[in-house]
Amino acid sequence: MAVGAVFIDHTTASASVARELQGLAKARDLQFVDAPVSGGQAGAQNGLLTVMCGGEANAFTAMQAPAMAFSRAVTLLGGSGAGQLAKMVNQICIAGLVQGLSEAIAFGEQAGLDMVQVLEAIGKGAAQSWQMDNRGKTMVAGKFDFGFAVDWMRKDLGLVLDEAKRNGARLPVTALVDQFYADVQQLGGQRWDTSSLIKRLR
């Protein structure tokens, strides 16, 4: 890389890895931005990723416009490592939401409800979420081939739980859902998408 170039890392990794890369980049007169993404395969294909960035302001400014070619939001959230920490926050939210949605659908099915109809109704109220809008009906239909795999989610949640040990955050629900994803792996669902949590409730 040329001196002064911006090294952008879209990998989801630990904040400590991001800080290590920032140090290596600086030693080579490069700029560095840790910039993990959210939005999955569909978000990438449709140019609708969310990019969470950590690094210095000038490096971020240089990469922001090019990153908008495949993103709908590119945000600087702090110094080196902040992007990775924000991605961890994102994965914590997703884990809890998907488990809640899985339990809701399984409960409704056991109660004899038409869950497609129910999701359409409650999706207009306070229970609405991206997960409900984009995965609810496919979960009812038992389709789990929408990109972000259970194996990848477990890798990410491992990063989250390791960071929580370091910073003292308490994540009881996240730790539990991580074990539920381990159950899905045991069912053969390593490459199913994250909405496959419902499989262990049926």
Our answer to whether residue 87 is catalytic in this structure is yes
The H or E element containing residue 7 is strand 6-9
Question: Rounded to an integer, what distance in angstroms lies between the CA atom of residue 62 and that of residue 74?
Answer: 12
Structure tokens at 20: 């290590």
Residues in CB range of 101: below 8 A, 6 or more apart: 129, 131, 132, 135, 136, 139, 195, 198
Q: Are 158 and 178 in contact (CB under 8 A)?
A: yes
The CA angle 175-152-10, to the nearest 5 degrees, is 115
How far does CA 130 lie from the centroid of its chain?
A: 12
Question: Rounded to an integer, what distance in angstroms lies between the CA atom of residue 167 and that of residue 133?
Answer: 33
Annotated catalytic residue, options 26, 87, 137, 165 = 87
Distances in Å between the Cα of 193 and the Cα atoms of 46, 63, 188, 196 are: 18, 30, 12, 6
Catalytic residues: 87
